[in-house]
Structure 1
Amino acid sequence: MTRFTAWRRRSWAGYAVVLAALVAIGAIYAGVSPATDQAQATGTQAQAADLAKGKELFNQNCASCHGLNAEGTKDAADNTIAPSLIGVGAAAVHFQITTGRMPAMTTAAQVPSKKVVAPFDDEANVTAVAEYIQSLGGGPGVPAVPEGGDVALGGKLFRTNCAQCHNFTGQGGALTEGKFAPDLMDTTPVQLYEAMLTGPQAMPVFNDTTLTPEDKAAIIAFIETTREEPNPGGAGLGRMGPVSEGLVGWVVGIGLLVFASIWITAKKPKKLKKS
C-alpha cells in the first residue's frame, strides 16, 4: 500500500493513468466498432440496391410519361402530359400504383382505378419505386395507420369533409368536367390515409394540420364500419336512405300498376251469346 501511494505521488503517474485509459478505450472500440461499421455498411448497400431497383422499374414503366428524371413531360403547346414527381413522396406513388391508377392506360379527365398489373402486383416492386421517388425530393412517406379510431368522430368528420363528393356512405359521386369521386368500398386503410395525405387528382390535400392522424384514423374507422354493415332490404340502392328507396318504389311500383292497368283495359270483351 505504501509503495502504491509513493508511486501515485510521482509526477508522471497521472500521464500513465491517462495513457492506460486511452489504451483500454481503444481496445474496447476496436472490439465493438467493426460489427457496427459492418452493419451500417450492409444497410447502406441494401438501401442502394433498393434504390437502383426502384430506378430501373421507374425507367421501364414510368419514365415514358414522367421523364427519365421524374421531372414530368409536356407537349408542343406546353401542356402537361404527366406531372413532375419530385417532392410528391412515397405515399403518393404507393397510392397511385396500388390502386391501379398508374401506369395510366387513358388520358381522360380522371384516371380510374383498375386491377394492378405486373410488375407492380409485387409489393416489393411498389416499395422500391416509391422509395426511389422519395429519394429524389422527399415528401410524405407511406403512413402507418393508427388503430382504434373513434367511429362516431369519424362519422362527423366524414360528413363535414368528404360526403359532399363521396356520398354519405362512401359510394362515390360525379364531379364537374368529367371527374368523379370514387367508391371507397374496396379501398384499404393505408390507401385511404394516403389519399387524405396527398390529395390525388380532384381531391384536396388534408395534411396533419387540417386533419390530425387521429382524425384520419377516425374517418377510416367510420368507412370500414359503414361498409361492413348489412343491407336489411337486400339491395343497397346506393345506401342513400329513403330517397333512393322511395324513388325505386315509385318508379317500379307505380310503373307496374300502370302497365297492369293498360294490359287489363286493352283486352277486348267477348261478345255475349244470344240466348
Structure 2
Amino acid sequence: MKALAARRRHPLGGVVVMLLALLVVGGAYSVLTPSTASAAAASTEDVQAGRELFLANCSNCHGLQAQGTEFGPTLIGVGAASVDFQVGTGRMPLSANMPQAMDKPVQFSDQQIAQMAAYVATLAPGPAIPPEEFQSFTDDPERISKGNELFRTNCAMCHNVVGAGGALTRGKWAPNLQDVSAKHVYEAMLTGPQSMPVFNDANITPEEKQDIASYLHFAGTEPSPGGLSLGSLGPVSEGLFVWVAGIGALIGCAIWLGARAS
C-alpha cells in the first residue's frame, strides 16, 4: 500500500492527468465539430482557389480576412453550408443594398462554389454541407406526411402551410420554397439565413430535414384538387376572389335586372 501511495504522489502525476484531459477534450472536439469533415475533404488547391475567388468577389463587403465590415457580416464560423446556400441560390454576391437578399441567377459554377465554401470552412468550425444522402427528395409517403407535420409546426407561420411564402416585417419576406432543392432547404435550416431561425441537428434531425424538403417538393408538384390554387396563399387570395368575382357578378346581375325592369 505504501508503494502504491508513493506512486500516486509522483511529481509527474499531475502532468500526466492534465495531458490525458487535454487528449480527451481534443478528441471530443474533433468528433463533434461539424465542419472538420468538409474541410479535410477539400484539397489545398481547392482552398487556395476558393480564397482567390473570395478576394476577387466577396472581400469588398466581408473584408480581406472575412472578418466583416460595415457593408457585410463576418464569415468566420459560418461554415461551408452557409456559403453553399448563399452563393448556390444566387443571393450572393449581393446585387443591391436592400432589407433582404434576393435569389437570382447563380454567378458561379458548382466547382467555384465548392472552392469558396472550402476556403470559408478553414477559417473556423461551422456547419458543413450535408452528405449526399440528404441532398435528394424521398418519395416515401410516410416520410412526406411526417415532413408535412414538421413543416406546419416549425415553418408554416412564415412560409405558409404549403411553402408558398409570405410577407414579414420591415420589407422582408419568407420566400417560396416549393422549387428549392433538398440540399438548399437542408442548408437553410442548418444556417438560418436572413430572419430565419437555426434548426440544428439537435432540433431537427438530418432525416427530418429531408422529410420537410420532400414535403415541399410534393406540395409544389401535386396538382390542386380544388381547382385554381390562387397562389396557395390561403383565405386572403380566396376572399379577394370572392369579393371581386362573386360580388362583382351579383352587382352585374342587379344592374341587368334593373335595366330590364325599366
Write out per-residue CA displacement over residues 107-161 of structure 1, whole angstroms, 9 at most, x where no aligned residue.
Answer: 11111111112xx1x1000000010000111211110253646111111110000
- Aligned pair in 2 of structure 1 residues 242, 86: CA closer, same or farther (>3 Å)? closer
Q: CA deviation at 1:250?
A: 3.5
Q: CA deviation at 1:176?
A: 1.2
Instruction: Determine helix, strand or coil for the equivalent of 1:202.
Output: coil
Taking the TM superposition and a 5 Å limit, the aligned residue runs for 1:32-181 are 47-74=43-70, 81-117=71-107, 120=108, 122-144=109-131, 145-146=133-134, 148=138, 150-181=143-174
**In the alignment, what sits opposite 1:186?**
179
- Aligned pair in 2 of structure 1 residues 190, 68: CA closer, same or farther (>3 Å)? same
Instruction: Determine helix, strand or coil for the equivalent of 1:73.
Output: coil
Instruction: Determine helix, strand or coil for the equivalent of 1:137.
Output: coil
Write out per-residue CA displacement over residues 246-269 of structure 1, whole angstroms, 9 at most, x where no aligned residue.
Answer: 541342122133135336646896
- Aligned pair in 2 of structure 1 residues 68, 213: CA closer, same or farther (>3 Å)? same
Q: CA deviation at 1:213?
A: 1.1
* Larger Rg belongs to: 1
Q: CA deviation at 1:239?
A: 2.1
Separation in 1 of the partners of 2:72 and 2:47?
22
Separation in 2 of the partners of 1:216 and 1:49?
32
Instruction: Determine helix, strand or coil for the equivalent of 2:97.
Output: coil
Q: CA deviation at 1:244?
A: 3.9
Separation in 2 of the partners of 1:246 and 1:82?
41
Separation in 2 of the partners of 1:241 and 1:68?
46
Worse-superposed segment, 200-209 or 260-269: 260-269
Write out per-residue CA displacement over residues 18-72 of structure 1, whole angstroms, 9 at most, x where no aligned residue.
Answer: xxxxxxxxxxxxxxxxxxxxxxxxxx9x812111111111111101110111101
Q: CA deviation at 1:235?
A: 3.0
Whether the 8 Å CA contact 2:179–2:217 is kept in 1: the answer is no
- Percent sequence identity over matched residues? 50
Structure 2, unaligned runs of 5 or more: 1-39
Whether the 8 Å CA contact 2:89–2:105 is kept in 1: the answer is yes
Q: Which structure has the higher relative contact order (CA within 8 Å, separation 6+)?
A: 2
Worse-superposed segment, 93-102 or 223-232: 223-232
**In the alignment, what sits opposite 1:78?**
none
Taking the TM superposition and a 5 Å limit, the aligned residue runs for 1:236-275 are 236-240=229-233, 244-262=237-255, 265=258
How high is the TM-score relative to the length of structure 1? 0.72
Instruction: Determine helix, strand or coil for the equivalent of 1:230.
Output: coil
The reply to whether residue 231 of structure 1 matches residue 240 of structure 2 is no
CA RMSD of aligned residues (A): 2.3
How high is the TM-score relative to the length of structure 2? 0.76
Separation in 2 of the partners of 1:226 and 1:184?
10
